[in-house]
Chain A
Amino acid sequence: MSPASVFVCLSLTLLSDYPVIRVKPDHSGVVTDGVKHSMNPFCEIAVEEAVKLKEKKFIKEVVAVSCGPTQVTETIRTALAMGCDRGIHVEVSGKDYEAMGPLQIAKIFAALAKKEEASLVILGKQAIDDDCNQTGQMTAALLDWPQGTFASEVTIDGEKVKVVREIDGGLETIKISMPAVLTADLRLNTPRYATLPNIMKAKKKKIANMKPADLGVDMVSRVEVLRVDEPPTRLAGVKVETVDDLVAKLKANGTI
């Protein structure tokens, strides 16, 4: 029986590679107003993988899901332009959005996956703004599904999925049964561009709207952010001429 639908769960992140991020004056977080936001790069890879699986006819339908404020619909549109069939926007805004963490997101994705009877849930391995690397794993646990994380290669083999995982020691190959949760790592694929004609066509694809309450998920956070600070400015290094100098300096500042 070929899998019916695949869920790709997206995250909208601050494109934290290059824009200028600064800490809010009250140290409660970073300034996000006006900063460039776009689809999390690992989620782009997840979307690409799902669309590739559909093109190879392993799956019938790809649904792109994301949680967040209205901005998030643009990210879902990009996913639709890359080839997803429809989208679901779970609206979370204001204080709920600021407090939203991997656990709340995982609960939402798990509830949706069950509701829509998904066979595969594919996510990016981590979001580049908080680097948590928890959502995929939590989703699998809540659903009690097997998980293939840090995937660098995915092959569907009947009712099972063969996943090659990137681990510290090298590569690990596992075979898990579906339904399953996968998280995409960097080398899984190179995402295609969302071309302008596809963006225009994506405007006609459906994005359903819902709230966490519709899924029975409570958004209360178990984590409280106490303070956000910038990393301390790196002090200039000191060059020493001889090994004796080095030892003397290390002794002087108490390291040895």
Chain B
Amino acid sequence: YTFPLLTLDSVEMERFADEADVVIVGGGPAGLSAAIRLKQLANEQEKELRVCLVEKASQIGAHTLSGACLEPSALNELFSDWKERGAPLNTPVTEDVFSLLTKKYRIPVPMLPGLPMNNHGNYIVRLGHFVRWLGEQAEELGVEIYPGYAAAEVLFHEDGSVKGIATNDVGIAKDGSPKDVFERGMELHAKVTLFGEGCHGHLAKQLYRQFNLRENCEPQTYAIGLKEVWLIDEKKWRPGRVEHSVGWPLNRNTYGGSFLYHLNEGEPLVALGVVVGLDYTNPYLSPFREFQRWKHHPFIAKTLEGGNRIAYGARALNEGGYQCLPKVTFPGGMLIGCSPGFMNVPKIKGTHTAMKSGMLAAEAIFPKVTAKDLASETAGLHVPEYEDNLKKSWIWKELYSVRNIRPSFHSYFGLYGGMVYTGVFYWILRGKEPWTLKHAGLDSAQLRPAKECTAIEYPKPDGKLSFDLLSSVALSGTNHEGDQPPHLTLKDDSVPVANNLAIYDGPEQRFCPAGVYEYVPLETGEGMRLQINAQNCVHCKTCDIKDPSQNINWVVPEGSGGPAYNGM
């Protein structure tokens, strides 16, 4: 499926280029907070600053997906008057419930203050709407925001520093040839480029290799989060209620858990979902089907019965925390937000740290980018002060204190070991123990061959509480221009059947939450082939992370393609 581009002699190949002071890739909490902070500083000090932000979604917030319980710490620092500005934080948390589920029953776990999962003071938000609001604030401050344009290529100066980015060429047909509407992408040059692509960004992947940013940290480990929004029976609606669970349906050695949040925005809406650690070992595991069957647990079903599902989506998230933080600055650019990965895993919150990292980046860049005579060794500015600021900030302290919780799940005792560790070491010592536990290694290397594992019998969806994959994908609103090369590329076309299917029984058929990968029999009769339904993709990045052969390379499709989440 990966094809070489046909020679384009007949087509104008020059790219239009424009200059900005700062270019930001990604319109999520980190990117927007950085943009806002830069403009706040510029306005305070009456300096001119051109800040351009590109975002692959057709509108800001359309690719945003999260639980989410927002800790307002970073927001308070960014806009102390966020309430007056109309930030959509409408649901303060009123009840916090934690359960250990067994197949039929529920064991309540007390949510003592001081435990990371305690949500006192936080707000349940629809992150997509919050991001949209951030976008509006940014535009008011003068940030140039360009949704619908994907950054596809990192540009470099001759000295190797980052020069900026280029958006992707559009109007390429499925076979790689230019259509009549072919247009070259545009180059955006900047003194500093911020990369805020979210978890497992595709440009960040290149930057890690190019600048060797990961030589002193562990490989990142991830989870996949699947989420639905339901309109439930009013009688069951308890606005402000936060429920979390661990245990069933996942076994004790598969990391994961669930969330169910009651929103308070006029209608009886609940946001719910399941997170499954991508270091799972059984290739027969399907995160999507675990999610669907979890909803049948009596404790969950009782809230959902009589309700209607109105939205679905999925996204990978970081689980590595402190041990997996790479170097985040390099000549000409830096990484912000979930891209390097500041998520506090036991709290399952990454938005506040992502926002703070964006703000710290802005504060470090601003003096350098507006300095009159700046002597820089490289054409692209290197701002190592950002990394120093991070280390002195509350992000670092927070991530350091919870660093051992996630790896504590790797022992023989699995889930129970982790819970005991959290209760003993975190609650009492707050992470002050002198050792740092390690993660298990690359997620993609964790799968055991199919013949060593037992297939999991999943129940059929009942159409009322649980649903099939394709009707779920339809609810994500995802679509892509059909006539374009598939953006899920394979480094070697023969590997899926020879390796993934033969040894692991094609796990991509199961871990993709959008049904992109299917093994279908060859038309000629003998054997199978991998069919890639790229149009279904919801941009979750799980395949790029979990492919045991690391053969799948997710690249960005034409801008505007992808899910159309509304307040996810």
Are B183 and A36 closer than 8 Å at their CB atoms? no
Are B180 and A190 closer than 8 Å at their CB atoms? yes
Q: Does B310 contact A (CB under 8 A)?
A: yes
Q: Which of A17, A25, A197 has the most CB of B within 10 A?
A: A197
The contact of A34 among B18, B132, B183, B185, by CB within 8 Å, is: B132
Are A34 and B128 closer than 8 Å at their CB atoms? yes
- List the B residue with the shortest CB-CB distance to A34: B566
Are B149 and A196 closer than 8 Å at their CB atoms? yes
Interface code B168-212, partner A: CB below 8 Å = 1, 0 otherwise? 001100000001110101100000000000000000000000000
Stretch at the interface among B394-402, B417-425, B472-480, B491-499: B472-480
The contact of A20 among B18, B128, B185, B310, by CB within 8 Å, is: B310
Are A19 and B181 closer than 8 Å at their CB atoms? no
- List the A residue with the shortest CB-CB distance to B559: A196
Are A34 and B310 closer than 8 Å at their CB atoms? no
Interface residues of B, dominant DSSP: mixed
- List the A residue with the shortest CB-CB distance to B308: A22
Task: Return chain A residues, CB-CB under 8 Å to B137.
Answer: none
The contact of A193 among B16, B171, B566, by CB within 8 Å, is: B171
Task: Return chain B residues, CB-CB under 8 Å to A38.
Answer: 58
- List the B residue with the shortest CB-CB distance to A35: B566
Q: How far is the CA of A15 from the CA of B563 in the complex (A)?
A: 13
Are B59 and A36 closer than 8 Å at their CB atoms? yes
Interface code B130-166, partner A: CB below 8 Å = 1, 0 otherwise? 0010000000000010100100000000000000000
Interface code B463-476, partner A: CB below 8 Å = 1, 0 otherwise? 00000000000110
- List the A residue with the shortest CB-CB distance to B58: A36
Q: How far is the CA of A193 from the CA of B170 in the complex (A)?
A: 8
The contact of B18 among A35, A190, A197, by CB within 8 Å, is: A197
The contact of B146 among A18, A190, A191, A196, by CB within 8 Å, is: A196
Are B183 and A193 closer than 8 Å at their CB atoms? yes
Q: How far is the CA of A35 from the CA of B312 in the complex (A)?
A: 14
The contact of A195 among B62, B186, B310, by CB within 8 Å, is: B186
Are A18 and B181 closer than 8 Å at their CB atoms? no
- List the A residue with the shortest CB-CB distance to B144: A200
Count of B interface residues, CB-CB < 8 Å: 33
Q: How far is the CA of A193 from the CA of B128 in the complex (A)?
A: 26
Are A190 and B479 closer than 8 Å at their CB atoms? no
Are B181 and A20 closer than 8 Å at their CB atoms? no
Q: Does A199 contact B (CB under 8 A)?
A: yes
- List the A residue with the shortest CB-CB distance to B181: A192
Q: How far is the CA of A192 from the CA of B311 in the complex (A)?
A: 32
Q: How far is the CA of A196 from the CA of B54 in the complex (A)?
A: 10
Task: Return chain A residues, CB-CB under 8 Å to B179.
Answer: 190
Task: Return chain A residues, CB-CB under 8 Å to B267.
Answer: 25
Q: How far is the CA of A36 from the CA of B478 in the complex (A)?
A: 11
Q: How far is the CA of A20 from the CA of B132 in the complex (A)?
A: 18
Are A196 and B181 closer than 8 Å at their CB atoms? no
- List the B residue with the shortest CB-CB distance to A31: B566
Q: Does B250 contact A (CB under 8 A)?
A: no
Interface residues of A, dominant DSSP: loop
Are B183 and A18 closer than 8 Å at their CB atoms? no
Closest chain A CB from B230 CB (angstroms): 12
Closest chain B CB from A4 CB (angstroms): 28
- List the B residue with the shortest CB-CB distance to A193: B170
Q: How far is the CA of A190 from the CA of B181 in the complex (A)?
A: 8
Are A19 and B477 closer than 8 Å at their CB atoms? yes
Task: Return chain A residues, CB-CB under 8 Å to B566.
Answer: 19-20, 33-36
The contact of A36 among B18, B62, B149, by CB within 8 Å, is: B62
Q: How far is the CA of A154 from the CA of B267 in the complex (A)?
A: 50
Task: Return chain A residues, CB-CB under 8 Å to B310.
Answer: 20, 22
- Please provide the chain A residues from 1 to 51 with a CB less than 8 Å away from any CB of chain B in the complex: 15, 17-20, 22, 25, 33-36, 38
- List the B residue with the shortest CB-CB distance to A22: B310
Task: Return chain A residues, CB-CB under 8 Å to B221.
Answer: none
Q: Does B225 contact A (CB under 8 A)?
A: no
- List the A residue with the shortest CB-CB distance to B477: A19
Are A34 and B477 closer than 8 Å at their CB atoms? no
Q: How far is the CA of A33 from the CA of B128 in the complex (A)?
A: 12
Q: How far is the CA of A19 from the CA of B183 in the complex (A)?
A: 27
Task: Return chain A residues, CB-CB under 8 Å to B475.
Answer: 20
Closest chain A CB from B291 CB (angstroms): 18
Q: Does B167 contact A (CB under 8 A)?
A: yes
Q: How far is the CA of A36 from the CA of B476 in the complex (A)?
A: 12
- List the A residue with the shortest CB-CB distance to B311: A20
Q: How far is the CA of A36 from the CA of B475 in the complex (A)?
A: 14
Closest chain B CB from A14 CB (angstroms): 11
- Please provide the chain A residues from 179 to 208 with a CB less than 8 Å away from any CB of chain B in the complex: 190-193, 195-197, 199-200
Are A18 and B479 closer than 8 Å at their CB atoms? yes
Are A192 and B477 closer than 8 Å at their CB atoms? no
Task: Return chain A residues, CB-CB under 8 Å to B185.
Answer: 196
Are A199 and B183 closer than 8 Å at their CB atoms? no
Task: Return chain A residues, CB-CB under 8 Å to B146.
Answer: 196, 199
- Please provide the chain B residues from 253 to 312 with a CB less than 8 Å away from any CB of chain A in the complex: 267, 310-311
Closest chain A CB from B396 CB (angstroms): 35
Are A192 and B183 closer than 8 Å at their CB atoms? yes
Are A200 and B477 closer than 8 Å at their CB atoms? no
- List the A residue with the shortest CB-CB distance to B310: A22
Task: Return chain B residues, CB-CB under 8 Å to A34.
Answer: 61, 128-129, 132, 566-567
Q: How far is the CA of A38 from the CA of B58 in the complex (A)?
A: 9
- List the A residue with the shortest CB-CB distance to B182: A193
Q: Which of B18, B59, B61, B267 has the most CB of A within 10 A?
A: B59
Q: Does B564 contact A (CB under 8 A)?
A: yes
Are A196 and B167 closer than 8 Å at their CB atoms? yes
- List the A residue with the shortest CB-CB distance to B52: A200
Q: How far is the CA of A200 from the CA of B310 in the complex (A)?
A: 36
CB within 8 Å for A200 and B181 given contacts A34-B566, A38-B58: no
- List the A residue with the shortest CB-CB distance to B567: A34
Q: How far is the CA of A200 from the CA of B53 in the complex (A)?
A: 12
Task: Return chain B residues, CB-CB under 8 Å to A35.
Answer: 564, 566
- List the A residue with the shortest CB-CB distance to B481: A193
CB within 8 Å for A18 and B149 given contacts A193-B170, A195-B186, A200-B18: no
Are B477 and A20 closer than 8 Å at their CB atoms? yes
Closest chain B CB from A56 CB (angstroms): 15
Closest chain B CB from A234 CB (angstroms): 13
- Please provide the chain B residues from 26 to 54 with a CB less than 8 Å away from any CB of chain A in the complex: 54
Q: Residues of B with Cβ closer than 8 Å to A?
A: 16, 18, 54, 58-59, 61-62, 128-129, 132, 144, 146, 149, 167, 170-171, 179-181, 183, 185-186, 267, 310-311, 474-475, 477-479, 564, 566-567
Question: Can you spell out 20 A-B residue pairs with CB atoms less than 8 angstroms apart?
Answer: A17-B479, A18-B479, A18-B564, A20-B564, A20-B566, A34-B61, A36-B58, A36-B59, A36-B477, A36-B564, A190-B180, A192-B183, A193-B171, A196-B149, A196-B185, A196-B186, A197-B16, A197-B18, A199-B146, A200-B18
Q: Could you list 15 further interchain pairs (A-B, Cβ under 8 angstroms) beyond the known A18-B564, A36-B58?
A: A15-B564, A18-B478, A19-B564, A20-B475, A20-B477, A25-B267, A34-B129, A34-B566, A34-B567, A190-B180, A193-B170, A196-B54, A196-B185, A196-B186, A197-B16
Q: Residues of A with Cβ closer than 8 Å to B?
A: 15, 17-20, 22, 25, 33-36, 38, 190-193, 195-197, 199-200
The 8 closest A-B pairs by CB, nearest first: A34-B566, A19-B477, A197-B16, A18-B479, A196-B186, A19-B564, A193-B170, A36-B564
